[in-house]
Amino acid sequence: MGCADPAVLALALVALLVALPVLPQGYVARLYTIVDMQADPTGSATARWDAMALALNTIRHHPILGVGLKVHILDAVEQAGNWHWNGVHNVYLEIGADLGLPALVLYLLAMWHLFKGIRGSMRGLRGVSGAQELVALGTGIRTALVAFCVAAFFHPVAYHFYFFYIAGFAVAFTQIAKRAHAQTRGRGEGERRVLGGHWWARKMRVGPAAVKG
């Protein structure tokens, strides 16, 4: 079943329509503050925007090594001149400010490598019979990884286990898929060797030439 399968899209649309009536009160208005920060009476949207600006400033002044693990909070306090800061709500800025741009590049490369491994494994499973469960597993892990990559723009969870759990599942999936593909290829080569070594198979191959001779 492909990602653009009409049945999947229809199911997602139905789920969205069902979820709308049960959304918490003020949820849509809260989402609207993403584009209009003045509409947020709590000031949370403005505070998060200011925190991102402070984190970018930290990266600008400490691009190589950062300021240290979770120390960007103290740097933001020093820049702002008050203690009303609890860290930037963005994984990428959090890593860049704490550990520097090289660490952020490595983090992004790790994400890219995981996506590449999943995509290659899914492609390798196309010719494997009975691999529907593995394909479903790979689809689920890829979806979880995409969800984390998007959510990372809004949550300060760079050092939590969420990403590392998904990364571990992704690595395990690629290894399982590789073994399944190797076993299927091994069985195919074994069958060809058996057929190629059978006396009647040899006779079928040399028979026309012998008759012609």
d(CA 33, CA 150): 18
Average pLDDT of the chain?
A: 82
d(CA 131, CA 140): 14
Question: Percentage of the chain surpassing pLDDT 70?
Answer: 82
| Residues 35-50 pLDDT 10s | 677 777 777 778 888 8
| Residues 2-20 pLDDT 10s | 445 677 778 888 887 887 7
Q: Pick the closest to residue 53 from 96, 93, 107 (CA basis).
A: 93
Read off the pTM.
0.74
Burial class (CB in 10 A: 0-12, 13-18, 19+), 7: exposed
Q: Which residues contact 152 (CB under 8 A, 6 or more apart)?
A: 90, 91, 92, 158, 163
Query: No. of H helices and E strands in the chain?
Result: 9, 0
Q: Which residues contact 50 (CB under 8 A, 6 or more apart)?
A: 80
Q: Is pLDDT at 178 greater than 80 in this prediction?
A: yes
